[in-house]
Structure 1
């Protein structure tokens, strides 16, 4: 895998030219098709099939993403940015618990728990562009949680790390179970999880709230 900087530069250099709405649409189609392909087939999904699913030719795909690593980087960055944008929109909602709820469901729809394990070998989490996007998501998620806690709607003994872990686990397929089979149950299980966040708490949680620093200690 190339350096984080080189991947970012390749993605940026090959992005849609300014003023070219058709190029921007093609890039978005490629990213959406690639995300679906990576969820179903993993990081080695056929680039030819991704191009076909996006409705573009191979040359168009390679013009935007010159290699597989650049495409993986583009998918992960696009997914993270969409999650962050959804968090910002949620913060504009009046009811703090409903804001958190709508964000969690929107983030779950991106199936980040299915993507990350499959793409981890080709994705550099400390790439500057990706790191900035991830920190944006984390900061906005923390604000959603804190706002709901201040309103007395979310239990006090959870933190942003708890929500991040839950989103990852609830959207990750079980061993031997395809993503398509578990997808139909994600909404149900996310709602069960959200019910457990409500205040007043019905039980005392063991241990302490998961922090992002602890989750990254071994990385």
Structure 2
């Protein structure tokens, strides 16, 4: 007699997958704006779903925050892979770093909750740091190999500089300041062409005394 059939693992329905993505995209927008409106109810309204649908996908506030955070990290990793084929290595690095400013804006909107999540999840911190460092590393290595970026800076250095620029200011309009500083930073990483110094040739009759007047 045949034994019981193995339990079938059902894939999520297409509409459920779509709803989950809509919630995550809406959460990114709401959390980026921050302020008193950054509530789960606001996320549900932005996504066009009921609050019950949101809770079915993300039973706790922390679960939603972590999912948004992981999604952003994964998208930045994917973007780095796409930019490896970009024709200009320096501009590819610049574009990836600028995309991180938007990520930080989302992160700032949920910083308190993320602190609680990260405190209880060293795996989340390790995952994000490793993924982002590798993403920077691939773009940086390509630019160094092309001879257009200096080779004495590491991916960790770039990541720390990026974080410092994004968290230097918290006033409205901080993203504009961060993007401007980021451009200055990237331009400073460029390998500057060595100026050719013309060899000074001694002037004709140099060192000779001028003839006396007759």
* TM-score with structure 1 setting the length: 0.70
Correspondence for 1:99: 92
After the TM superposition, which of the residue ranges 47-56 and 160-169 deviates more from structure 2?
Answer: 160-169
After superposition, the Cα gap between the structure-2 partners of 1:137 and 1:72, relative to the gap in structure 1 and judged at 3 Å, is same
Q: After the TM superposition, which residues 1-219 of structure 1 pair with which residues of structure 2 at under 5 Å, given as runs?
A: 18=11, 20-41=13-34, 45-111=38-104, 114=108, 117-124=111-118, 126-128=121-123, 131-172=126-167, 174-175=169-170, 177-178=171-172, 181-200=173-192
Task: Deviation per CA, 1:118-139: give whole Å up to 9, x if none.
Answer: 4442222745466335423211
C-alpha change, 1:159 and 1:95, in structure 2 (3 Å) is: same
Task: Determine helix, strand or coil for the equivalent of 2:115.
Answer: coil
- Is 2:80–2:138's contact at 8 Å kept on the other side of the alignment? no
Please, what TM-score do these two structures have when normalized by structure 2? 0.72
Match of 2:167, SS state, is: coil
Change beyond 3 A, Cα 1:173–1:114: farther
Cα deviation 1:91-130 (Å, max 9, x = unaligned): 1223322221222122223226635744442222745466
- More deviation, 193-202/82-91: 193-202
| Separation in structure 2 between the aligned mates of residue 39 and residue 75 of structure 1, nearest angstrom | 11
From the superposition, tell whether residues 168 and 117 of structure 1 become closer, same or farther in structure 2 (CA, over 3 Å). farther
1:65 is displaced (CA, Å) by: 0.2
CA distance in 2, matches of 1:155, 1:119: 38
Q: How many Å apart are 1:42 and its aligned residue?
A: 6.6
- How far the C-alpha of 1:21 sits from its partner, in A, is 2.9
Q: Is the 8 A contact 2:32 2:109 kept in 1?
A: yes
- Aligned counterparts of 1:157 and 1:123: Cα–Cα separation in 2: 35
With over 3 angstroms needed to count, the CA separation of the structure-2 counterparts of 1:120 and 1:62, relative to structure 1, is: closer
Structure of greater Rg: 2
Over 3 Å counting, the alpha-carbon distance change for 1:46 and 1:23 in structure 2 is: same
The alpha-carbon distance between structure 1 residues 66 and 19, as it changes in their structure 2 partners (threshold 3 A), is closer
Contact 2:98 2:179 in 1 (8 A): yes
User: 1:69–1:44: structure 2 CA closer, same or farther, 3 Å change rule?
Assistant: farther
- Structure 1: which 5+ runs fail to align? 1-16, 203-219
Q: Tell me what 1:216 maps to.
A: none
Between the aligned partners of 2:110 and 2:38, the Cα distance in structure 1 is 14
